[in-house]
């Protein structure tokens, strides 16, 4: 694609999103002879394109009906990435606002609220002898931090009207060079002004196709990136206020994916299998002194069927369970299998009985703040799990990542 073609596509993309389908009058064709046949078909196709959805990057975004079950529950606004462009959307995939810049991934923090008692979370037994994160940091560690607070007040006069005033904060990862990322903070109060996160850049294996390598702690104080730069596995944690980095590494090229923060804002979960076929869910104490990635505790070894694969997982808000996207054990001559979201005990990895059937493999999903709703990007298409039921948000799309 030439530069001119790309600019024309982006211009048409922006123009299409400004059209209100309700403002379009029905297409009335004149009663003429056969000479009108081809123009009528072209006009009809254009009308269908404009009314049926917004065009972006050569794709049509078909929106759900307002009565669609996909709109039940969850947040009313989310940030999605299409072709490297970040947009604010409603729960049916309609574009509300655009965010300047190009991005590879998005993750959300939780709106500020009173900090729960530490007893509200399940403490990792392996970490029980380690001092609390509020104690003096070890050499090389970033300073301990209290919960950050984010203003839910709309921006000052002169700024665009907020698309939401619920105080939610998002972080965007932008690729600055091959496999190197910088990060930006943006609120729904003023999505037009992404603010750089201090700390420079982080090297990682590419997030293209694997945006769940990037995550933000619930209190918004830290972001984490996992990946395989060079010949090692690596987890990097950045303090978003000071820009200080901490890094945990281990030799070898076993892939590390699916970063997720525990609600204690200290334990970082990820998938790092010891060998092929093993789920390899792990929990790392980011408040400890060790820089060895292998110090991460293995969650529930061998509690899933031996041939089951966990593609991604996330901690649930209570810290007692995790929710995983699981490819079941293959059976029969055609290797038939079941794809599910399965809830597991955060200590043992044992299934709790909660399960939702997915249409196919899911390698990236994000929970909402309640932990009861999930966004999935499956083969470039956006889907949701609400109330234990999966549904598609849009029929056709080119989503790369989404969070709410």
pLDDT in tens, 214-265: 999 999 999 999 999 888 999 999 999 999 999 999 998 889 999 999 999 9
Of residues 259, 253, 192, the one with CA closest to residue 228:
253
pLDDT score, position 325: 94
Most confident of 23-27, 129-133, 300-304, 398-402: 398-402
- C-beta of residue 43 within 8 angstroms of C-beta of residue 1: no
Of the listed ranges 23-37, 265-279, 318-332, the least confidently predicted one is: 23-37
Where do the domains of the chain lie, and which CATH numbers do they carry?
A: 1-57 (no CATH), 58-403 (2.120.10.30)
How sure is the predictor about 304, in pLDDT bands with cuts at 50, 70 and 90?
Answer: confident
Of the listed ranges 107-121, 196-210, 373-387, the least confidently predicted one is: 107-121
Q: What is the average pLDDT across 82-102?
A: 92
Q: Is 351 helix (H, G, I), strand (E, B) or coil?
A: strand
Distance CA 300, CA 269 (A): 13
In sequence order, what DSSP letters do the residues of 354-367 get, joined into one string? EEEE-SS----EEE
**In the 8-state DSSP scheme, what is residue 69?**
G
Q: What is the average pLDDT across 195-215?
A: 88
Please say whether the dihedral angle defined by the alpha carbons of residues 39, 45, 47 and 50, taken in this order, is positive or negative: negative
Residue 367 phi/psi, 5° resolution? -85, 160
CA dihedral 388, 300, 255, 107 (to 10 degrees): 40
Which residues lie closer than 8 Å to 371 by C-beta, 6 or more apart?
Answer: 316, 317, 318, 323
Distances in whole angstroms, Cα of residue 221 to Cα of each of 89, 241, 245, 304: 25, 7, 12, 33
Distance CA 107, CA 120 (A): 24
Which residues lie closer than 8 Å to 401 by C-beta, 6 or more apart?
Answer: 80, 81, 104, 105, 106, 211, 364, 377
Q: What is the average pLDDT across 314-326?
A: 94
How sure is the predictor about 332, in pLDDT bands with cuts at 50, 70 and 90?
Answer: low
Q: Is residue 165 over pLDDT 60?
A: no
Distance CA 316, CA 320 (A): 7
How sure is the predictor about 277, in pLDDT bands with cuts at 50, 70 and 90?
Answer: low
The burial of 146, by beta-carbon neighbours within 10 Å (0-12 exposed, 13-18 middle, 19 or more buried), is given as exposed
Q: Which residue has the higher pLDDT, 123 or 150?
A: 123
**In the 8-state DSSP scheme, what is residue 295?**
G
Q: Which residue has the higher pLDDT, 42 or 164?
A: 164
pLDDT score, position 195: 95
Mean per-residue pLDDT over the chain, rounded: 73
Distances in whole angstroms, Cα of residue 367 to Cα of each of 217, 374, 375, 403: 13, 4, 6, 8
How sure is the predictor about 151, in pLDDT bands with cuts at 50, 70 and 90?
Answer: very low
Distance CA 263, CA 250 (A): 25
What is the value of pTM for the model shown? 0.72
Q: What is the average pLDDT across 25-46?
A: 39
Please say whether the dihedral angle defined by the alpha carbons of residues 63, 94, 357 and 325, taken in this order, is positive or negative: positive
Q: Where do we find the tokens 């090297």?
A: 203
In terms of DSSP H, where are the helices of 343-394? none
How sure is the predictor about 395, in pLDDT bands with cuts at 50, 70 and 90?
Answer: confident
How sure is the predictor about 2, in pLDDT bands with cuts at 50, 70 and 90?
Answer: very low
Residue 38 phi/psi, 5° resolution? -65, -50
């Amino acid at each position: 694609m030439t530069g001119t073609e790309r600019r024309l596509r982006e211009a048409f993309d922006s123009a299409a999103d400004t059209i209100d389908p309700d403002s379009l009058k029905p297409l009335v064709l004149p009663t003429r002879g056969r000479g009108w046949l081809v123009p009528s078909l072209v006009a009809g196709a254009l009308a269908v394109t404009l009314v049926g959805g917004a065009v972006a990057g050569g794709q049509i975004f078909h929106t759900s009906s307002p009565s669609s079950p996909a709109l039940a529950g969850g947040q009313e606004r989310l940030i999605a990435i299409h072709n490297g462009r970040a947009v604010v959307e409603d729960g049916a995939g309609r574009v509300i606002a655009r965010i300047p810049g190009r991005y590879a991934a998005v993750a959300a923090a939780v709106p500020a609220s009173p900090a729960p008692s530490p007893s509200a979370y399940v403490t990792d037994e392996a970490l029980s002898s380690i001092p609390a994160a509020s104690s003096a940091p070890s050499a090389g560690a970033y300073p301990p931090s209290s919960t950050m607070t984010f203003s839910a007040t709309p921006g000052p006069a002169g700024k665009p009207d907020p698309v939401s005033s619920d105080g939610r904060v998002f972080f965007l990862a932008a690729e600055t060079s091959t496999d190197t990322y910088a990060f930006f903070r943006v609120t729904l109060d003023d999505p037009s002004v992404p603010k750089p996160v201090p700390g420079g850049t982080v090297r990682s294996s590419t997030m293209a196709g694997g945006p769940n390598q990037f995550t933000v702690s619930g209190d918004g104080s830290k972001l984490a990136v996992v990946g395989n730069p060079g010949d090692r596995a690596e987890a990097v944690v950045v303090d978003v206020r000071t820009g200080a980095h901490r890094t945990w590494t281990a030799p070898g090229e076993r892939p590390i994916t699916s970063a997720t923060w525990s609600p204690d804002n200290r334990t970082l979960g990820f998938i790092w299998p010891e060998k092929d076929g093993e789920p390899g869910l792990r929990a790392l104490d980011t408040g400890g002194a060790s820089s060895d990635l292998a110090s991460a505790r293995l969650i529930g070894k061998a509690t899933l069927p031996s041939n089951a694969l966990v593609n991604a997982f996330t901690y649930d808000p209570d810290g007692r369970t995790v929710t995983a996207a699981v490819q079941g054990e293959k059976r029969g001559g055609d290797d038939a299998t079941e794809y599910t979201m399965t809830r597991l005990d955060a200590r043992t990895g044992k299934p709790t009985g909660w399960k939702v059937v997915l249409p196919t493999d899911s390698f990236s999903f994000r929970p909402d703040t309640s932990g009861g709703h999930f966004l999935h990007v499956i083969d470039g298409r956006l889907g949701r799990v609400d109330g234990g039921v999966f549904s598609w948000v849009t029929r056709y799309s080119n989503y790369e990542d989404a969070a709410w």
